[in-house]
Structures are given as structure tokens and as C-alpha cells.
Amino acid sequence: MNVNLASFLYLVSGILFILALRGLSHPTTSRQGNLYGMIGMAIAILTTLALALPSAGGFGLIVLGLAIGGGVGAFIARRIAMTAMPQLIAAFHSLVGLAAVMVAAGAIYAPESFGIGEAGAIHAQALVEMSLGVAIGAITFTGSVIAFLKLDGRMSGKPIMLPARHLINLALGAALVVLIVLLVGTESKFIFWLIVAASLVLGVLLIVPIGGADMPVVISMLNSYSGWAAAALGFTLGNLALIITGALVGSSGAILSYIMCKGMNRSFISVILGGFGGETASAGADDGIERTVKQGSADDAAYLMMNAQKVIIVPGYGMAVAQAQHALREMADKLKANGVEVKYAIHPVAGRMPGHMNVLLAEANVPYDEVFELEDINSEFAQADVAYVIGANDVTNPSARDDKSSPIYGMPILEVDKARTCLFVKRSLGSGYAGIDNTLFYKDGTMMLLGDAKKMTEEIVKAMDH
Amino acid sequence: MDELQKALDQLDQAGAAVRLAVQDLANAPGGAADAAGAAAHTLSGGAIDPFVFRFAIFVLAIFVGYYVVWSVTPALHTPLMAVTNAISSVIVVGALLAVGASAAGAATGFGFVALCLVSVNIFGGFLVTQRMLAMYKKKEK
């Protein structure tokens, strides 16, 4: 195939990827967008095959690889539970990272098939681009593996703090720069693998000190990294589809990280440096004042909600853990049948990844036009009779708004304390992830419903039938 | 809502601009930007490296990404991550090059591993996105 035609086709697939993201501006156009993405990918693959016609053996291998990977991927995509989505995304990121390393390795072992020079005489520029790609790819790989282990609960979500970790990271970063310079000078494969090794270690060290509830930032950041790795390799290969896609994914992940940081009122740097949520802060809890908590039963909750005019439901990570979304929708259906107005309020950092709650509610058949973002619904709490908080904690803590000494002061919160009654479903009276006492529990309008989120909601549904 | 409408309008304009640019590129001798870059490279007597043109495309794509991603509704942020993940598997083109050069020994091995990994991503990523998007429904009237 003509090289010019090929670059044009790569450009087309890049444009299709842009349209795929563009489609996500609204649920109705999103499915079309996803289709564009698939077409773009098919064009990129077919163009590459036509451009560098593989030998018969090579072609067999390609079909085999696509079949193995595709089979596994399709199987996972069909079987995975929606609650496991954050882990899945982290796992997928790690695959992109590792693939980037492998592609770069392929390029350094067979530079002629990538058009970047002969073995022993690879263009310096290609070597720089490649080593950047391989370093970011390797960091993405191990970083995502750690994120996966934390999200999947195979590793404690608590931050693991190594002594002098900032120094170690800085030293590793400096070593990487030196190694890249050496690689350009010598083109030694040994140094190439040293770069890989150093980056793999760096990836682990970067993510290990970051706690569970900061995962929305981490997972977006790794998303961004996988994009930059792809872009760097795109420069090596001179491939437009890769360059455009890398830039898109890189900026997408960066924007998501920014949105998540803003949702927590924390700087990106402080999240990356990690350690938040490790120590149990005692702020506000031990001021010596005896505070009382009002507890209620499922019957009380059912009575309150059935006699309300407007109920706003505030889901959080606890809903995902308890898989309570279906029971929740049943409850909302009962309320709506009784003439109660029901809305859902989602905090930007609710759950373990951007948009986590929205997907779970969609899975439970909650219509998306009943689900609102923080800034759209916060003013409505004052007119609501009941706010039903299920599995959220820190994002409803009024001290983030009122108490300047609170560690989470300044974080935007859902103002559930403004509703006439706040029903708060919680396992126990312990503090939330940030280790901060929630002053909401002691307010007059708050009724605590102690128990598992799913069981409690189911009991409320039952009580509503009486 | 006004602001949203405005943003959407701007996006449409940006989309139209991109389409125009694509047409320009298609009409330009050489067919595509990279080829145009190569052409400019020769025209300028080799003074401008094709890298500069690739870099220009890269920077412009970052801007396109910036505006497109800000227009994504927060409700679809999880599908956004899934689909960006799927499209970043376009790194498969590198894997195909490595596997295709089957005489290359080690490179073929690395390429094959990369190919298997990204195929998981391509199929898994797009299908799981599709599954998620199919769940978003409007209120039944």
C-alpha cells in the first residue's frame, strides 16, 4: 500500500477516535460514538497489515494473537460485574503499559521493520522517543497492577509509607535520565532493560503510598500515562493514529485527574505524594462534649420517606461494596408509586473511579435523568424532606464547609444536613476514610440507620408494604 | 443550560473546522499530514524535520482532546475511561509490525506478547463500554 494513503487512513482512524469521545457528551449519542471507535481501530489494524504485508507465518501469528487476546477480552467484558469496573479498568491500563514496553523492545531488536534505522545505527531521536515510551509504559504497568490489587481488595487500601521514599523516587528518576542518555550513546540492549527495570520499580513506589479513596485520581492519572506512552511510541513509528490517540487519552486522563482533585479540594501533587488517610486524625472527635446520636429503624425510615414530598438519595462507595443499587431502585420505585419525587445526587469523587456511581445506578435501571451532579442538585437539599445517604460519608461531612481546622476543610460537599431529615445508612459509627469524625451524625435532623446498606434498604422496602 | 448549549455550539464549530482541515489535508498533494510534512521537508531543502509536523499534530490533538473531554457528561466518566483505554490499544500497530517481521527472532516474540495483551484491551475495552452504555436509559414516560 502507498505510504501516503496509509498515513491518510491513520489520520481517519484518529478522527474516528475523536468522534468516539465526542459521542460521550450525551448518553443518546454515546453508543454511536463507541461504534466510531471500533471502526477506527479496525481501519488502523487493516492499514498496518496492508502496509507491511506480513509473511505467511507472521500472518498466522497475528491471527493467533488476535484470537487469544480477543477471546479473553470478550469473555471478561461479558462476565465482569459492574461493581468490579474500577479493578477492570486498572487491569486494562496495566496491559497497555506492558504492551508499550513490548513494542519498544520489538523496535530495538528489529529496528529495520519499524523504519527507524539499522540495528546498531538506530536514529538518536527514535531512541529518545522510544525510551520515553518504554519508561512511561513500564511505570503505567506496575502502577496499574498495584492500583488493581488495592481496588480488588487483594492488598490493603491503606497507604504503605517507605522511609525516605521521596528520595528514592528522585534518585530513580535521575537514574532514568542518565540511562536514557547512555542508551542514545550506546544503543545497548542491556541499558534498555535497565530502563525497563528502573521504571517498573518506580511505578510500584509511586502508587504504593496512595490510599484507597484517592484511587479515583490514581486511576485517571494512569489512564493519562498510558496515553503519553502510546504517543511517545507513535513518534518512534511516525504513526499518526498513535500520536493523535496518545494525545487524546493523555489529555483525557489529565482532565479527569484534575476534576477528581477538585472534587476533594486537594492539589494533584499532594495526592501523588500520598499518605493521606493513613493516620487516624483525632481532630474534632475528642473535644470532651458528650454527643448523642439518634438511631432509627427501617420502619421509621419507611414512614418518613412515604410521607415525604421529595427524597434525595446520596450513594457512595458503601453502596457499591454492599451491591445495594438494585434494592435502592426498588425503594425508589415504591416511593414514586406513592407520589414522592425521587432524585439521586452524585459527588464527583463518590466511589473508586470517575462516574462509578452513575454506572451502578444505570445497571439498576435508574433513568439517567433522575441522577444529578453536585452543583446541579446542592441547592435542592433545602427543599427536600429526606436525604437518604447510603454508603457515602466524608462527602457529606459538614465540617468540610464549617470547620476551618478540619483536614478536609474546603472540600465541596453534598449539603444533606440542609434537608429536613437526613437518613444515614452506615455499618457502625466509625469515622470515614479520611479518619475524620462526621459531625452530621450528631445533628438533630439526622437519624442513623445502622446496618448493611443492602439489608437495610431491603428492610425499608418491606416496611413500605405495610 | 445556556452555557452547555454555548459549549456545544463551540464544539460543533470546532468539529466543522476539523472537518475542513481534514478535507484540506485530503486535497493537499501527498494526501495526509505526515506526507505533507515529508513534502514540506523536501521543499524546505530538508531544513524542517518531519518531527516538527508530527509534534504540531500532537499538540493540536491535545487541544482537541481537551475540549472534547470537557464536554463529556460526568455521568459517562467511567465509559470514557473504558473507551480511552480501548483506543489507546491502537499501539497494536507497533505490535503488528514486530510480529509481521517474522524473521526477526526476539522481536517477533515481543510483538506477539504485545499483540495478545492489546487484543484483550481492544475487544474487552470496546465491548465493556458498549455493555455499560446500553444500560443508560431515559425515564419511561
Residues (pLDDT < 50) of chain B are 22, 25-33
Q: Could B30 and A30 be called an inter-chain contact, meaning their C-beta atoms sit closer than 8 Å?
A: no
The tens place of each residue's pLDDT in chain A, 466 residues long, gives 788 899 899 999 999 999 999 999 999 999 999 999 999 999 999 999 888 777 777 888 889 999 999 999 999 999 998 888 999 999 999 999 999 999 999 888 888 878 777 777 788 888 899 999 999 999 999 999 999 998 888 887 777 777 878 888 899 999 999 999 998 888 888 999 999 999 999 999 988 888 777 888 889 999 999 999 999 999 988 889 999 999 999 999 999 999 988 888 888 887 777 666 544 444 444 444 556 788 888 888 899 899 999 999 999 988 988 899 999 999 999 999 999 999 999 998 888 888 899 999 999 999 998 999 998 999 999 999 999 999 888 888 888 888 888 778 888 999 998 999 999 998 877 666 666 778 888 888 888 888 888 999 999 999 988 7
Q: How far apart are the C-alpha atoms of B70 and A145, rounded to whole Å?
A: 28
Q: Is A236 in a helix, a strand, or coil?
A: helix
The candidate with the shortest Cα–Cα distance to A313, out of A334, A294, A295, is: A334
Is-contact A308 A435, C-beta < 8 A? Answer: no
Residues 67..106 of B with a Cβ closer than 8 Å to A: which? 68-106
State the cell numbers at A156. 490493603
Q: How far apart are the C-alpha atoms of A87 and A144, rounded to whole Å?
A: 9
Q: Could A255 and B32 be called an inter-chain contact, meaning their C-beta atoms sit closer than 8 Å?
A: no
Query: How would DSSP label each residue in A287-306?
Result: SS------B--HHHHHHHHH
CA angle in degrees (0–180, nearest 5) for A341-A346-A348: 160
In total, chain A counts a number of residues equal to 466
Please report where in the chains the cell 419507611 appears, as a residue: A302
Q: What pLDDT does residue B104 have?
A: 59
Return the C-alpha torsion angle B2, B4, B8, B13, nearest 10: 60
Spatial CB neighbours of A282, under 8 Å, sequence gap ≥ 6 = none
Residues of B in contact with A259 (CB under 8 A): 74, 77
Q: Could B115 and A367 be called an inter-chain contact, meaning their C-beta atoms sit closer than 8 Å?
A: no
| Given the residues A214, A394, A417, A437, the one annotated as active site | A394
Which ipTM did the prediction report? 0.88
Q: Could A358 and B87 be called an inter-chain contact, meaning their C-beta atoms sit closer than 8 Å?
A: no
- Global pTM value: 0.84
Q: Is A101 in a helix, a strand, or coil?
A: helix
Bridge partner residues of A388 (DSSP) = A313, A423
Active site residue A403: no
Residues of B in contact with A74 (CB under 8 A): 123-124, 127
State the cell numbers at B94. 507497533
Please report where in the chains the cell 460485574 appears, as a residue: A81
pLDDT (tens digit, 9 = 90+) per residue, A214-264? Answer: 888 889 999 999 999 999 999 988 889 999 999 999 999 999 999 988 888
State the cell numbers at A6. 496509509
Residues 312..371 of A with a Cβ closer than 8 Å to B: which? 346, 348, 353-356, 358-359, 362-363, 365, 367-371
User: At A266, which helix (H) or strand (E)?
Assistant: none
Q: What pLDDT does residue B141 have?
A: 55
